Amino acid sequence: MKKVAVVGYAQHPILQNAGALNEVELIMPVVHQLFADLGIYQDDIDFTCSGSCDYLQGAAFAFVEGLSAIQTNPPIKESHVEMDAAWAMYESMLKIQMGDADTALIYGFGKSSPGDLDSIISLQMDPYYISPLWPDRVSLAALQARVLLDQNIITRDQMLAAVIEARVNSKNNKNALITDLIDESEYLDNTMISSPLNKLDCPPISDGSSAMIIASEDKAYEFTDHPIWIEGIDHRIESSNLGSRNLSRSNTLQVSMGQLDLNNIKFDVAELHTQFSHELPFLKSLLNLADVPTNLSGGPLVGNVMMCAGLDAIGKTFESLKENQFKHGLAHATSGPCLQHNMLVHLEKQK
């Protein structure tokens, strides 16, 4: 495998409602910021890949308009994934491995405020057996939370701790949407949305965008003196048939862990794309991260831009490694109901 590094990352402040700002107006400042930080231009980028969801905008091929946020003349090589931009990063990684590019710009954007996110996410699921039932994302997550609680894999106290810690950690994240602290009684008094998940167990509706640049070994040092290397990356999908899944475990994550040899790495930090409070203790135990500081950015519970939050987990891990005396970081991105599709990224800072 060719060595590839994350060299830069920028994030729009996460907004509850971006109002009149459209998607292009959300992406442009972030990409400009990233270019300015690194002192580069679009001409320095070989491949551009974005992640977004047309259903969020409610228009076919809406992602094409997103391209208006970046310089496309002279013509550029670009692609798009109808997924979280973490997978745009994966595609870019492949492009570099294939020798088609040495540098890639990745951006993701999501404006959840204009529509009904529950219905929209429902349409992202299996179109034959699940979408026609219109299950909302919170109810599906609650299904898994219930299984995990009933089997004593996680506890209610761990969910409470995840919510409280997310608020505490939001102080590390200048772009966090939710920053006010809460206590146990506030949590317990909160309205149940879909048992066992109350409002605070769920991520806030968020608008925003993020961008990242990755580069091959040859180019990385041209962009920064401190590249953070992608030492391993793996993504796998559980069955789309919810009824055939055992929600108390994740076979595919186990396989990914083996591929990345995670059990032999001492991680200093992890950022997990855990949108619901129960997912944090579940994944921490699954990934053997019990003693690893996790979601120091607050994670999706303090700001969850759809189609960005996975890329943000990678970006926040990158930032943590850059700014601290950390060596190994683990980032996780997910999509689909009940942690169906998961990506793990092992980032490493080398001397």
Binding site for another protein (CB under 8 A): 19-22, 24-25, 28, 31-32, 42, 55, 57-58, 65, 67-73, 113-116, 119-120, 123, 131-132
Residue 72 or 155: which CB sits closer to another protein? 72
CA angle 148, 125, 12 (to 5 degrees): 85
Measured distance CA(155)–CA(301) in Å, rounded: 18
CA 292, distance to chain mean position in Å, is 19
Output the smallest distance, CB 293 to another protein, in A.
37
Residue position matching structure tokens 């308009």: 65
Residue position matching structure tokens 């048992």: 195
State residue 326 phi and psi, 5-degree precision.
-100, 155
Q: 196 with 331: CB under 8 angstroms?
A: no
What is the Cβ-side half-sphere exposure of residue 253, based on CA atoms within 13 angstroms?
23
Residue 55 or 90: which CB sits closer to another protein? 55
Residue 123 or 192: which CB sits closer to another protein? 123
Measured distance CA(52)–CA(32) in Å, rounded: 19
Question: Angle of helix 279-286 relative to helix 156-169, nearest 10 degrees?
Answer: 100
| Tokens standing for residue 180 | 């006010």
Output the smallest distance, CB 128 to another protein, in A.
10
Output the smallest distance, CB 211 to another protein, in A.
12
Measured distance CA(229)–CA(77) in Å, rounded: 24
Output the smallest distance, CB 319 to another protein, in A.
24
Q: 314 with 191: CB under 8 angstroms?
A: no
Burial of 196 (0-12, 13-18, 19+ CB in 10 A): middle
Residue 54 or 222: which CB sits closer to another protein? 54
Output the smallest distance, CB 34 to another protein, in A.
12
| Tokens standing for residue 133 | 């039932």
Output the smallest distance, CB 32 to another protein, in A.
8
Residue 65 or 136: which CB sits closer to another protein? 65
Output the smallest distance, CB 42 to another protein, in A.
7
Residue 132 or 258: which CB sits closer to another protein? 132
Q: 245 with 305: CB under 8 angstroms?
A: no
Output the smallest distance, CB 69 to another protein, in A.
6
Residue 60 or 290: which CB sits closer to another protein? 60
Residue 31 or 242: which CB sits closer to another protein? 31
